[in-house]
Structure 1
Amino acid sequence: MADPRGSSAPDLDILGDQVTLHPSGYVEPPQRPQDRDKEQNLVEHMARFRTSPLEFLREVSLHVSGTGWRAYNHFIGQPIFYNGFSDNMTAAVLSTPILQKQITELAEKRIAFEEKEGLLKPNDPSYAAKKTQRKNGIEHSLQELCEKMTGDMICKMESRPFIRGAYYMCTQLLTRAYHQGIHVSSEEVLRLRAVAREAEKNKQSIIFLPCHRSHVDYVSLQLICYRLGLALPTVVAGDNLNFPVVGSFLQHADTLLQGGFNFECFVEGGRSRTGKLLPPKFGILGFILDSILSGRVEDAIICPVSTQYDKVIETEGYVTELLGVPKKKENLADFLSASSILSLKLGRVDVRFHKPWSIRDFIREQRARTTSIPP
């Protein structure tokens, strides 16, 4: 086993802080009694100050100093940690031709409305100058609104120490609830890392499509990507789907896809309250498909993800909702104050990665099937 304090981002076999390096391609690791179907416990129960103060302090010092894989310096994917990343992403979104065209069209529609209401009078001697001035003012206001909303939805990923600290804190919280850790298939993860390397070379995005049963879904995926040295995916959720002016996430998705940045979205649209998968909503996937069909983006990689739990954290809340109690708005204070939940032993989380596939290849296959159907 490699020394965890000197190892870099692993090629896999991961068990807690112990990492075994493999050459490229899957090499079956030595069988151990605790192995089950080539599964590995990616995130184990971490040291607690009360029970093991020295080990706890050692873990904290390793994360603070960024020792080995914790530094997250050599991840697979496009660069996402540098000063000015957020500003550059915002500028890229605002400069998209589709957005600028939509702003111009909305300004023209507003001018037409004001003319109809008599606010702008064509018989006014200074009509042309006032119309131009008013149109420029409307476009400027829309630009400011877009800039503010884009800045709100762009991920702020400029601080590596913050990301390291967030990983440590999330792992601490998660392993308090799921004491048996996060389990993955080493073979699936090796395959995913190989695809990620190829996607990085071609500057293509990996679009993770997890099922959505719990808030832990996106937390566990972020932890896995960090631990395996993969570029963290941007989560498509909440206000990201309510972009003003354009009324869609298309511009931001284009920017991510054109830059080859990873992201994840939940095609179910919301969390399942029963454990069963919800009917898919193809909004964001439709935007992605349009980006590729239009030629704005060459290709992207889809990676379906399944997350299973022995028991979800939100079970009690789901029961009350199914009984007719209105859904309570989530807030961080309630989660952190729920010591009874964090102290529960909810078992384990199992994450499985389906074989990633190319959207461009999928389109070709569908077109070939269509043309081969006899009239």
Structure 2
Amino acid sequence: MLTMADTKGPPTPTSAPDLDILGDQVRIHPGGYIEPPAKKDGSHERNLVENMARFRKSPFDFLREVSLYVSGTGWRAYDDVVGQPIFYSGFTDQMKSAVLSTPILQEKISELTERRLSVEEAHGLLRSEDKEYTQKRALRMAAIEKSLREVADELTNKMICKLESKGFIRGAYYLCTQLLTRAYHQGIHVSSEEVLRLRSVAEEAAKKKQSIVFLPCHRSHVDYVSLQLICYRIGLALPTVVAGDNLNFPLVGQFLQHAGAMYIRRSFGDDTLYTTLVQSYIDTLLKNGYNFECFIEGGRSRTGKLLSPKFGILRFILDALLSGRVEDAIICPVSTQYDKVIETE
């Protein structure tokens, strides 16, 4: 569980401790640390992301922090990650190739090709009594398949996340933390016990090459940003996040795609090729043990309230498991609590 503090609350002291996750231990830097009060169940919450140094107040501290992210010092390097390898050159091409070569996509392309040939034969464009019928049909089949593969290639390129650069994700983490801690002055608070449990489960999942499917509630755009920040901070492989293609606009769209967003249409309609392509991508992610994230409500409430669940993406996950294409996956519900959601204003 993670909590966003009220935007009107008092800012945390700049000497507030940071949190190191080492194996199965939580290390709190002692300077200025005050043990948070225990809840009824004995658990504690700690601030995982605190306010960063401000250039006007402390230019030297600000420059020191920036240099730590640029050089990738300590946990910022994002090298020792729990989960399958991500953020390396060639990741996108490898993922794209895997998606386009899935058996279900190949079968669908063959099926659509046969349908198209049947339509053309019904309209007299291909005549069985023609002496060169077999040759013409084979050439037409090759042309249709090529066209469908080009469409699938273009759709895949727009859809898949492009986790290529660790330098980019370090910069993205720093930028998002700066923005988030200005909007929510008291930062992101997480349960230490839940963090340790999640890392323990993630380590077992990584050994078995299984995916963790995060299912957060969706009250704000901050939901997916905060979960990515937490995974980065505690050293988990970032999940691929299902996002509506309405977010895929210049600059922001590319930024999110390189930070883990996969774009899908709001409605698939009768486009069976696109539906199969989405299924192929989800199959590829789950089969190879990449973490995955989708919102159980489908979209933001825009009022800060919970919405009724929708099962669109969950159907794809369930189909991958029940068909046997994917052996298993781990479901991780995520509750994000806000004293106040900034978008409601």
CA shift for structure 1 position 18: 2.9
Find the aligned partners of 1:16 and 1:131 in 2 and give their Cα distance: 72
Question: Closer, same or farther in 2 for the Cα pair 1:23/1:105, shift >3 Å?
Answer: closer
Find the aligned partners of 1:275 and 1:314 in 2 and give their Cα distance: 8
**Residue 99 of structure 1 contacts residue 246 of structure 1 at CA under 8 Å; is this kept in 2?**
no
User: CA offsets, 1:296-337, max 9 Å, x none?
Assistant: 111100000011112112113xxxxxxxxxxxxxxxxxxxxx
Find the aligned partners of 2:66 and 2:227 in 1 and give their Cα distance: 22
Question: Closer, same or farther in 2 for the Cα pair 1:166/1:27, shift >3 Å?
Answer: closer
Q: Give the equivalent residue in structure 2 for 1:357.
A: none
SS at match of 1:200: helix
CA shift for structure 1 position 26: 8.1
Q: Give the equivalent residue in structure 1 for 2:320.
A: 291
CA shift for structure 1 position 120: 1.7
Structure 2 unaligned regions, length at least 5: 1-14, 39-43, 246-262
SS at match of 2:298: coil
Find the aligned partners of 1:26 and 1:227 in 2 and give their Cα distance: 13
Root-mean-square deviation over aligned CA pairs: 2.1
Question: Closer, same or farther in 2 for the Cα pair 1:29/1:62, shift >3 Å?
Answer: closer
CA shift for structure 1 position 59: 0.5
Among 215, 240, 244, the alignment partner of 1:238 is: 244
Q: Give the equivalent residue in structure 2 for 1:36.
A: 37
Find the aligned partners of 1:260 and 1:16 in 2 and give their Cα distance: 36
For the pair 1:122 / 2:128, whether they are aligned, the reply is yes
Find the aligned partners of 1:29 and 1:171 in 2 and give their Cα distance: 19
For the pair 1:90 / 2:119, whether they are aligned, the reply is no
Find the aligned partners of 2:34 and 2:25 in 1 and give their Cα distance: 24
CA shift for structure 1 position 23: 5.9
Which residue identity lines up with residue 306 of structure 1 in the other structure? Answer: S
**Residue 232 of structure 1 contacts residue 262 of structure 1 at CA under 8 Å; is this kept in 2?**
yes
Question: Closer, same or farther in 2 for the Cα pair 1:18/1:278, shift >3 Å?
Answer: closer
Q: Give the equivalent residue in structure 2 for 1:259.
A: 288
Identity of aligned residues (%): 67
Find the aligned partners of 1:19 and 1:25 in 2 and give their Cα distance: 10
Q: Give the equivalent residue in structure 1 for 2:229.
A: 223
Structure 1 unaligned regions, length at least 5: 1-14, 317-375
Q: Give the equivalent residue in structure 1 for 2:306.
A: 277
Bigger relative contact order, structure 1 or 2, given CA contacts below 8 A and separation 6+?
Answer: 2
Question: Closer, same or farther in 2 for the Cα pair 1:250/1:79, shift >3 Å?
Answer: same
Which residue identity lines up with residue 36 of structure 2 in the other structure? Answer: D
Which residue identity lines up with residue 24 of structure 1 in the other structure? Answer: D
Find the aligned partners of 1:16 and 1:91 in 2 and give their Cα distance: 46
SS at match of 1:132: helix
CA shift for structure 1 position 36: 3.1
